[in-house]
Every structure is written in structure tokens, then in C-alpha cells.
């Protein structure tokens, strides 16, 4: 983009996307409503299993701040880590993923 060229933003872009676009940055998907919905499923599953953040982090072989950053939306979870988390919470990975898919479907139905 050359200086003086107007910035084109889709009318469907969120406010956050619009403000970040003005700085030439892409929105971080870790902070999206969809990702927050996934994190809420993980937090609910951990709490239902009676596992603390520290306990889960220890079982993963990570520092307690690792799980804190995941749950705080500051760190993404990859599919292998999601698999391990599910198993450590005594869930089948498909069960955890199914709960995440259901939460995302709810969010879509609400227009989010």
C-alpha cells in the first residue's frame, strides 16, 4: 500500500479488524469470539474433571503459566495438545471436539 492510498475495509469487518487494519496488522484469531468459545469448553471440561490449571499443566509437562495463557486466550492449542488435554481430563478427544463444535454452532446461531 502506497502512502495516500485509501485503506479498503470490508463492511463486514469487525471493529477490532478495522482498527487493526488501520495499523497494517491482521487480527489475531486467538482473540476471536470463536476462539473464546473453544476456550470456554476447555475451561468447563477442566473444572468438571476437578483438575486445577497447575495440575493440568503438570500432567502436560508444562509450567502452570502454560495453561493460564491458554485459558486467558494468550496462547493457541494445537490438535496434538488438545488430544492430550482431553485424555488427561478423562474425555475422548472426539467428545471434547464435539462439545467445541456444539459451542461454535450456538455462536453461529446467535449471529456471532
Which residue segment(s) compose the domain that 53 sits in? 48-109
**pLDDT averaged per 10 residues in sequence order, the chain, 112 residues:** 49 52 55 87 96 97 94 91 96 95 92 71
Going by C-beta distance under 8 Å and a sequence separation of 6 or more, which residues neighbour residue 77? 38, 42, 70, 85
The per-residue pLDDT for 111 is: 82
Domain count, the chain: 1
**Residue 32 resides in a domain:** no
The per-residue pLDDT for 34 is: 87
The per-residue pLDDT for 87 is: 97
Look at the chain and count its residues.
Answer: 112
The per-residue pLDDT for 32 is: 84
The per-residue pLDDT for 9 is: 45
Three-class DSSP category at 56: helix
CA distance 22 to 14: 13
The per-residue pLDDT for 69 is: 93
**Residue 16 resides in a domain:** no
**Residue 19 resides in a domain:** no
**Residue 68 resides in a domain:** yes
Give me the CATH number covering residue 56. 1.10.260.40
**Residue 79 resides in a domain:** yes
Amino acid at each position: 500500500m502506497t502512502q495516500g492510498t485509501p485503506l479498503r475495509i470490508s463492511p463486514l469487518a469487525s471493529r477490532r479488524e478495522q482498527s487493526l487494519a488501520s495499523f497494517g496488522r491482521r487480527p489475531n484469531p486467538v482473540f476471536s469470539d470463536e476462539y473464546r468459545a473453544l476456550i470456554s469448553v476447555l475451561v468447563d471440561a477442566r473444572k468438571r474433571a476437578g483438575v486445577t490449571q497447575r495440575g493440568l499443566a503438570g500432567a502436560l509437562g508444562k509450567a502452570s503459566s502454560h495453561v493460564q495463557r491458554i485459558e486467558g486466550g494468550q496462547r493457541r492449542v494445537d490438535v496434538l495438545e488438545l488430544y492430550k488435554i482431553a485424555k488427561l481430563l478423562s474425555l475422548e478427544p472426539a467428545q471434547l471436539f464435539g462439545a467445541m463444535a456444539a459451542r461454535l454452532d450456538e455462536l453461529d446461531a446467535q449471529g456471532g
